[in-house]
Chains A and B, each alone.
Chain A
Amino acid sequence: MKALQGFVRNMAKNRAFLLMVLPGALWFLIFAYLPMPGAILAFKQYRLDLGGFFSGIVKSEWTGLKNFEFLFQADDAYIITRNTVLYNLVFIALGLVLSVTLAIILFQLAQKRLARLYQTAMFMPYFLSWIIVSYFVFSFLSVDKGVLNQLLAAFGVEAINWYSEPAYWPFILVFMNLWKGIGYSSVIYLAAISGIDRSYYEAAMIDGANKWQQTIKITIPLIKPMMIILTILAIGGIFRADFGLFYQIPRESGPLFPVTNVIDTYVYRSMKVVGDFGLAAAAGFYQSVVGFILVLAANWTVKKVNDDQALF
């Protein structure tokens, strides 16, 4: 009884703050936590017509692991997992190398105003949505009007039906991801580099170091912690793909699915196009669980490297 009284008193003392977090907490409960038990749909055959959210979940037929069997038996699970993970590995590796390089280049440029102009230009892709970008890509890859096929024609080479040939798409998708992301991630690194104490460089110059040596011995080691942490956190997200990139750019072209289908697009298509909620839920559950483990592992690793950079 005493504990309850104490609890109520504490609530009253903190009531202003509790009122402040109430709307946000409500949002999290409804939009983030309420769906979580819905993960159980992966083990059921969900039907939309069973009347409402709760009764639909409770009354749907229990099918156990059947959805997962279907997912893993067909090549589907292997293909979408492979695509998701491999693309992300390439994105992370190339993204890191290119954005750090670009940041260093920007830092070294003598003409600062031009450098700022470049920065602003490089930032544009970040502000565009993938649907807009897909129009840009179309202007290059269109079979009859695209710039690439016109170039090929000028060299006497036969036009390529880009949207039907899977072979080119890993390169196209990697290029587009880098195009959209390098601008802004290099600016992040540039901000970090700009924060490095100039006296390090001056001391090095007195000792006769040239720019290259300064970069290798000063710049890179000092931003290494940030590089490591951002990379580890990115690896924690390796099971999630950028839905916009993989859905909009290939324009729903079926022949391309073996190289463009990732877990997120698979879940979406299973739910909305095919209407198989159970299968979609199973794939989503698979992604959430593996993703959860990966994020925990990534965060634990970051903690080992540098304790206060971790998220938790």
Chain B
Amino acid sequence: MNSPTTGKFRDVHRLPPAWNGLMHLIAGGFALVCVFPFLFVVLISFTEENSLLLNGYRIVPEKWSVYAYSYIFRTGDQLLRSYGVTVFVTVVGTIVTLVLTTLYSYALSRKNFRYRGFFAFLAFFTMLFGGGLVPTYIVVAQFLELKDTVWALIFPMAMNAFNILVLRTFFQTMIPDGIIESGKIDGAGEFKILLRLVVPISLPGISTIALFSTLGYWNDWFNALLYIDSNQLVPLQALMMRIYNNMQFMIQNSALLNSGQSREMLRSLPQETARMAMVVLATGPIVLAYPFFQRYFVQGLTIGAIKE
């Protein structure tokens, strides 16, 4: 679209440069504020412990050191155990969630399921009203006797109405009736249709749910706070809670050290920097992975918000 006065191509969609610059400042500034704390913690973890005790948390460390990390690698079997717990819970939990949610949502999306209204209500009513923390705790801890088991970290989070809403909407809008018809014509039963025909083309929707679920399980500390006392089953986030005040939890429970060695290690514990190093190690995977999956989260959240 040429401007008649200058004869040059002028993109009329562009903001005047001064405003554009200001917008960049605001948006970029906020983006920096979002990212800075993590970077700061990374820098702290590479600081030499004594200089930190002397000078406090500094953006540019007075003295650099990887001692915190080498310390953790020597005594960090608790870290490995927690990683193991978290990975197990996340993988199994996500699989459980996917199976339960896909089956449920698919049935809800099919118009010829006579009772789908009832089961839709069953799921969505839970968005309105809940028993509350106390009865839920008693059900899980006492009735199901899941206290101090890994299942207490998996089952309470396995389903939620929001996931069902998102996936049902996805099935309703993305699966052409023709696919199902052709399956029926070929004489396939409902399960076969679901597994052979629908699931392969539903991978975008299913992977969105998988991402929500994975993030939820990985970051969960609440269930561990409620139900886990044993050191063997402490997931990553709960471990971060336990060492918040006091890194000694890590050392005292290390199986790599005998009692004489633990006393020695305790004395040389770089409390502050090791804590931050733990944060980096616990969060690193997520920070590195999330940019690749960001798009799917936006899709899923948008479907849930717009519900169209």
- Whether the Cβ atoms of B27 and A105 lie closer than 8 Å is yes
- Whether the Cβ atoms of B31 and A145 lie closer than 8 Å is no
Bound complex: CA A277 to CA B114 (Å) = 42
- Whether the Cβ atoms of A21 and B107 lie closer than 8 Å is yes
Chain B residues lying within 8 Å of A105, measured Cβ to Cβ, are 23, 26-27
Size of the B side of the interface (Cβ < 8 Å), in residues, is: 102
Secondary structure of the B contact surface, majority rule: helix
Q: Is B159 an interface residue (CB 8 A)?
A: yes
Secondary structure of the A contact surface, majority rule: helix
Of chain A, the residue at the smallest CB distance from B131 is A35
Q: Is A14 an interface residue (CB 8 A)?
A: yes
Q: Is A305 an interface residue (CB 8 A)?
A: no
Q: Is A95 an interface residue (CB 8 A)?
A: no
- Whether the Cβ atoms of A131 and B237 lie closer than 8 Å is yes
- Whether the Cβ atoms of A211 and B19 lie closer than 8 Å is yes
Chain B residues lying within 8 Å of A52, measured Cβ to Cβ, are 142-143
- Whether the Cβ atoms of B41 and A146 lie closer than 8 Å is no
- Whether the Cβ atoms of B114 and A34 lie closer than 8 Å is no
Count chain A CB atoms within 10 A of each CB in B31, B53, B165 and give the residue with the most: B31
- Whether the Cβ atoms of B34 and A277 lie closer than 8 Å is no
Interface residues of chain B, those whose CB is within 8 Å of chain A, are 12-15, 19-20, 23-24, 26-28, 30-35, 37-38, 40-41, 44, 52-53, 56-59, 99-101, 103-104, 106-108, 110, 113-116, 119, 122-124, 126-140, 142-144, 155-156, 158-159, 164-165, 189-191, 194, 215, 219-222, 226, 237, 240-241, 244, 272, 275-276, 279, 282-283, 286-287, 290-291, 294, 297-298, 301-302, 305-308
12 A/B residue pairs, CB under 8 Å, sorted by A:
A16-B191, A20-B190, A41-B138, A53-B138, A115-B27, A119-B294, A127-B286, A135-B244, A136-B41, A139-B40, A201-B13, A288-B131
Interface residues of chain A, those whose CB is within 8 Å of chain B, are 10, 13-14, 16-21, 23-25, 27-28, 30-39, 41, 46, 48, 52-54, 56-57, 102, 105-106, 108-111, 114-115, 117-136, 139, 142, 144-147, 149-150, 179, 182-184, 187-188, 191-192, 201, 205, 211, 226, 230, 243-244, 248, 251, 264, 267-268, 271-272, 277, 280-281, 284-285, 287-288, 291-292, 295-296, 308-309, 311-312
